[in-house]
Amino acid sequence: MTSSEDTGGLAALLTKFPGRRVLCVGDVMIDRSIYGEVKRISPEAPVPVVRVTHETSELGGAGNVVRNLAVLGARCAFVTAVGDDRAGRQVGDLLGQLSDIEPYLRVSRRRETTIKNRFFSLDGHHLLRADRETVLALSPEGIADLTRSVTAQMNDIDAVILSDYGKGVLRGGLAEAVIAAARKAGKPVVVDPKGADYTRYSGATVITPNRSELADATGLSVDGDAAIVAAAESLRQKFNIGSVLVTRSGEGMTLLSGKDVHHLAAETREVADVTGAGDTVVATLTLALAGGAALPLAARLANVAAGIVVGRHGTAVATADDIGTALRHTGFANADQKVAGLTDAISRVMEWRRLGLKVGFTNGCFDLLHPGHISLLRQARAACDRLVVGLNSDASVKRLKGPERPVQNESARAAVMASLSAVDLIVIFGEDTPLALIEALRPDVLVKGADYARAQVVGGDIVESYGGRVVLAELVPSQSTTATIAAMKSSKAKS
């Protein structure tokens, strides 16, 4: 786990992300997620029948790297190729929805834009993946065109990413041309590789294979720390790579930089889906390097970001709020998976709604959790499908409850809340009331204890204005944190 000293350094890196300009070159695709009800097996074959209810489309491949860069506040020049088809036009539309992205798209009638169709049941089980794609190197004219786009950007960027998904964009000499131009301009190059021949990546600053890719590229064993280090060193020497960062899924990462070896433990305890985790790693690592971070510290930050996205389903991204929240709660089991900043909380609530789920909200200080709190949370969760808890920050609790409160800091309170099955998401807020949080999240159900009158419930009028409802939960008699603290003080005085 990350030490408190490291945490401060890592958090400081996040402040350097906004405004950094990254050149990303690679294979773009559309990640389409199709959700449906599964209630029976087909009479035609032993396969489930999916009644499709809705679907979503996101940028995938190198496009997901760009998405991660965008949510971290970076500016990005994105060089890629698409087919002359509907999916290619959708790539352009999705890029247009991102802030500070300059796309340079080579349209080719010889290509079919890659689409990955993933089918899911409504409870999140992955049923099937069906791909449409063309694996084809660019024409000499296409390579020359993209090379010109790359060299025109080189003096105005801070770092370069090559995101190779093996669809052909980085074949035929483009990868070599990008690395040569970057080295000449003194810019770091981070490569997310594909395939067994890494010759085209020669001269890169950092390369980020996963364990199976490392085995394919070297033909060596990757079982255990020592074997991974040996294979990474072989890769570095054979292909003239500066450093190697091996991603190891649930086992974390291994960084080989010069003679130094760093084994980074995984920053999540539950892996829901590794889709897109490598994209998050390369985006976060590159921005940290662009901000002047030493490679070991940049790798630690990328490891934290990876721990966030593997704890989520689908092609996820990690925002600066996500990473900052995870850093604040480093060391508390499961807190980094349930505690979110406002930006990510809004995104998760929107996704729940796309799945047809009813979102509930309640709030409080939750200092010294007692049976009354548990009863409130259970009743709140029973009124909805997903429960968001607004948790008062330490400063907010102090203003509301007095200078001796809270008894437990917000990290500890969030960790305790995250351990409860009734709670699906926690957002720490610094204001005296959760009004701004309620306005942003627009819950379907707002829950408070019955010690409040309906007219006293903050945000109740807002929720009801768009068709939501307010629920007043029954109270457990004689249960409060204030009474518990008073009883503890009385007992201590008598002793």
- Report the candidate in 419, 362, 369 with the shortest Cα–Cα distance to residue 391: 362
Look up 216 and say whether it is catalytic: no
CA-to-CA distance for 8 and 307, rounded, in angstroms? 18
- Report the candidate in 401, 403, 458 with the shortest Cα–Cα distance to residue 435: 458
Q: Which residues contact 255 (CB under 8 A, 6 or more apart)?
A: 243, 244, 245, 246, 261, 262, 264, 295, 296, 299
CA-to-CA distance for 211 and 213, rounded, in angstroms? 5
225-239 helix and 211-218 helix, angle to the nearest 10 degrees:
50
Catalytic residue among 279, 336, 344, 444: 279
Three-state SS for 228-291 is HHHHHHHHHHHHCCCEEEEECHHHCEEEEECCEEEEECCCCCCCCCCCCHHHHHHHHHHHHHHC
- Report the candidate in 37, 30, 250 with the shortest Cα–Cα distance to residue 125: 37
Question: What are the residue numbers of the active site?
Answer: 279
